Structure formats: C-alpha cells, structure tokens
C-alpha cells in the first residue's frame, strides 16, 4: 500500500542544537575524524540515466554506501564517530587536559580509553560501526542482538572484538536490554535512537552521518529537486534532510521519508502529530528499517523539514535489489541490501501513482537523489533474494563512472 501525506507546514527552522549538529562545521568535524582512517574515501555517487529515462524523470543519482569504510553501510560513519568522540572525552577527563585526535595512539591516552565500555543494540549495521570504533580506540564493546539478526551479521560484529549478547524478541527488546545493562554496570550506551533525557550521543551519531551529506554536495553538479530517504528510527533521514536543507537553503529538495509498511513508526507519528510507538507486526525483509518507535531527535528534525512520509511493501525490496544489480542500458550495477533500495522502491511507486506524483511535484524535469544505504551485509540472503553473486555484480559494473 502506498501512503503519501504531504506536510503543509514544512519549512520550520531547526532548533539551534540540531542545526549545530548538522551544519557544515559538523560535517567538517566528522570528516576530520574519518580522514585519519586509512580506508576513508568518499563513496561514489552514481548517475542512472537509463533508469531515469525509463521512469520519466530528468535524472536519478544514487549515493552508494555499499562499501563504506569496508563495513558495508552508511552506519559506519555514525556509531564509530560517536565512540571516538566519547573516547577523547574519557581521556580528557582522566588526564585533566584537552586531548586531540593525533594523541589516540599515545600510551597515556590509550590507558584512559581502555577503561571505557560502550554498549549498543543493533539490527546489524550500527553495532558493527560501534564495534569498529571501539577497536580503533582500544576500548571494550558489548553489542546486544535480537533474535532476528543473522549469524553472518553477528560474525561481522564479533570480528572487531566485541562481546555479543543475544536477546529474545525484536529490536526494541534489544534496546531495552542494552539500556538496562549500561545502567547496571556503568557502561556508556551508544544508541542511534534517542528518547527523553538521552539525546546527546544519538546526536553525535547523526553528526557522523553529515560527512556523507558533505560528499553529496561536493559530488552533485546541481541540487536535486527530490530526495527519497529510507528510515528506521529516522537518524539517517533526519541527518541528511537536516544537512541538505541547510546546505542548499532555498534550493533544498523535497524530502520524502520512506518506511516498510510493517514498521512505519514515523508515518504513524506524522499522522498523530507527535512521536508514537507502534505495535510490532510480522518482521519485514527490510531488517535495518524494522523499528517501531522513532528517535526523538530525528522526529523533531523531520517534523520540520520533511515534505512527505510514505510506505513501501515487502515485494518491493527484492524487486529493487534486482533492478540495481541488473541495470538497464549503460547504468552501473549496484549491490543493494534488503533495506538499501527502499528509496528507489518508493520512487517507483510514486511515479506509478498519478495522484502521488502530482502531490510531490515529480515530472520530467525532476532530479532525484537516492541513498543505497547498505550492500550485501548478509551475502547469503542477498543471493537468495536476487540469485546474484555480489562480487560478480561489482565486477560487472559498466563503464558509467561516478559523478
């Protein structure tokens, strides 16, 4: 089912704290941290002219996060950034002086950061980022996984030395378990969702994502007219909508927030006019988007800058995974995980619905920005859904170069 609710009051100003976390200075702080990592390079922005012609729009550009920092998703930027910032603060408190990034290898600083214990709940990608960040600063990480997280995703987290705790139930149950463990043990919770009284660290996670937004602005020759952003708790969507609205000002695109039908907490919040928790339904194949309560900070931002909220159905996930992995014309092949192509699924659905198309002002002059938020982070599932080998998809990528 397609649901589009266009906001009439879009354009409210961001609160000062949210603006500070998502502006150009925030992006520079984030990029400064990641430029110290040997694997950091801007991820490619691919143009899909053949698909754009096929769908009847002027252009489609996809920011491809499938190889971000070797972790396979945009989340590499968030959890790790927050852990690094927290480690610097822990060292400063222990040593009684400012500590810079360049001192992270200093023995005295390492002694201080080694006492930090970070914990997080995850569907897979955020926990991998937190674990990776902890490995960089040599602190302890404890990652809570719910029953639906695959063994392959667990192994990808554990390889960074993180301790794994399995929790019965869904993502929200793992969040509750991680929060209790932190309260009981004096650990630091590094969550990508926020609630009353817990906003600063999720805001740091979102600040980490702004590096991606800055790359987009550098790579695009002109501002897009529309941007489809998939959402779980809303952190990525809010970070990109907030950053791009500030970067482009009056030329900012229309932001359309996309969720699975089975986990549409942001749409429900929009309809209620306030953040709401929805009942858990049958699990969605879009596992990284399976969240039932929005992040408070993310909702605050999206309620000001989003133009519309909509849902996509279960069948659309494998359809767009195949569409990106088996491109038409000279378009490049892109490896997209189950949640990675939700923005494209929404675009296809809107363009097939004349009323929705008119509501969002999509026409032959529209330039659409999408985010492929993850690659084949579960390779077996990717192959089952597409009958494609992700390595061969990358190897077969045609000559169409990144913008």
Domain edges within the chain = 5-73+201-395, 79-191
**Residue 198 has what DSSP assignment?**
B
Looking at residue 386, what is its pLDDT?
Answer: 96
Q: Return the structure tokens found at 3.
A: 């649901």
Looking at residue 8, what is its pLDDT?
Answer: 53
User: Kind of pairing, strands 117-122 and 140-146?
Assistant: parallel
Fold type of domain 5-73+201-395:
Rossmann fold (3.40.50)
Looking at residue 9, what is its pLDDT?
Answer: 56
Of the candidates 180, 184, 201, the one whose C-alpha atom is nearest the C-alpha of residue 192 is: 201
Looking at residue 311, what is its pLDDT?
Answer: 96
Exposure of 87 in the CB half-sphere (CA atoms within 13 A)? 33
**Are 5-73+201-395 and 79-191 the same fold in CATH?**
yes
Looking at residue 400, what is its pLDDT?
Answer: 45
Q: Which residues belong to the active site?
A: 75, 123
What counts of helices (H) and strands (E) characterise the chain? 17, 11
Looking at residue 397, what is its pLDDT?
Answer: 79
Looking at residue 3, what is its pLDDT?
Answer: 64
The pTM assigned to this predicted structure is 0.93
- Distance in angstroms (rounded) separating the CA atoms of residues 21 and 241: 12
Burial letters for 349-373: b for 16+ Cβ neighbours within 10 Å, e otherwise?
Answer: bbbeeeebbeebebeeebbbbbbbb
Looking at residue 13, what is its pLDDT?
Answer: 85
- Distance in angstroms (rounded) separating the CA atoms of residues 319 and 338: 10
3-class DSSP state of 63: strand
For the chain, list residues with pLDDT below 50.
398-403
List C-alpha distances in Å: 286 to 60, 293, 380.
22, 16, 15
Please classify residue 177 by burial: count the beta carbons closer than 10 Å to its beta carbon, then call 0-12 exposed, 13-18 middle and 19+ buried. buried
Q: Return the structure tokens found at 144.
A: 């809570």
- Distance in angstroms (rounded) separating the CA atoms of residues 67 and 255: 25
- The residue count of the chain comes to 403
Exposure of 309 in the CB half-sphere (CA atoms within 13 A)? 27
Give the bridge partners for 118, in sequence order.
Answer: 141, 188
Is the domain spanning 79-191 CATH 3.40.50.1100? The answer is: yes
Instruction: For residue 247, give every residue at least 6 positions away whose Cβ sits within 8 Å of its Cβ, in sequence order, or none.
Output: 24, 213, 214, 217
**Strand ranges for 87-242 from DSSP E:** 117-122, 140-146, 163-167, 188-189, 226-230
- Distance in angstroms (rounded) separating the CA atoms of residues 36 and 100: 12
């Amino acid at each position: 089912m397609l649901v589009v609710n266009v906001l009439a009051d879009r354009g409210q100003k961001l609160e000062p704290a949210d603006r500070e976390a998502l502006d150009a200075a925030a992006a520079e702080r984030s990029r400064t941290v990641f430029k110290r990592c040997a694997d950091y390079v801007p991820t490619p922005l691919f143009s899909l002219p053949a698909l754009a012609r096929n769908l009847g729009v002027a252009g489609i550009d996809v920011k491809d996060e499938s190889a971000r920092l070797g972790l396979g998703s945009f989340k590499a930027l968030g959890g790790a950034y927050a852990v690094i910032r927290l480690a610097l603060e822990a060292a400063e408190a222990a040593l009684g002086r400012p500590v810079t990034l360049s001192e992270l290898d200093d023995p005295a600083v390492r002694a201080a950061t080694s006492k930090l214990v970070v914990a997080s709940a995850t569907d897979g990608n955020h926990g991998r980022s937190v674990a990776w960040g902890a490995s960089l600063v040599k602190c302890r990480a404890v990652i809570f996984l719910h029953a639906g997280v695959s063994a392959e995703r667990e192994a990808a987290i554990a390889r960074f030395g993180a301790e794994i705790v399995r929790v019965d139930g869904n993502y929200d149950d793992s969040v509750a378990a991680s929060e209790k463990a932190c309260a009981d043990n004096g650990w630091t919770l590094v969550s990508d969702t926020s609630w009353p009284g817990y906003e600063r660290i999720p805001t740091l996670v979102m600040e980490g994502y702004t590096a991606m937004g800055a790359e987009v602005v550098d790579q695009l020759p002109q501002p897009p007219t529309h941007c489809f952003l998939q959402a779980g708790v809303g952190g990525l969507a809010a970070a990109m909508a907030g950053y791009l609205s500030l970067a482009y000002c009056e030329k900012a695109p229309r932001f359309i927030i996309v969720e699975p039908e089975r986990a549409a907490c942001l749409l429900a919040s929009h309809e209620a006019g306030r953040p709401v928790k929805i009942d858990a339904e049958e699990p969605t194949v879009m596992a990284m988007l399976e969240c039932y309560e929005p992040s408070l900070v993310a909702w605050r931002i999206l309620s000001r800058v989003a133009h519309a909220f909509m849902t996509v159905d279960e069948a659309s996930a494998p359809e767009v995974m195949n569409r990106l992995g088996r491109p038409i014309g000279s378009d490049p092949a892109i490896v997209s995980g189950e949640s990675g192509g939700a923005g494209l699924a929404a675009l296809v659905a809107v363009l097939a619905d004349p009323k929705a198309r008119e509501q969002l002002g999509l026409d032959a002059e529209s330039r659409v920005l999408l985010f492929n938020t993850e690659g084949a982070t579960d390779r077996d599932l990717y192959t089952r859904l597409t009958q494609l080998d992700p390595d061969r998809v990358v190897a077969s990528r045609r000559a169409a170069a990144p913008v």
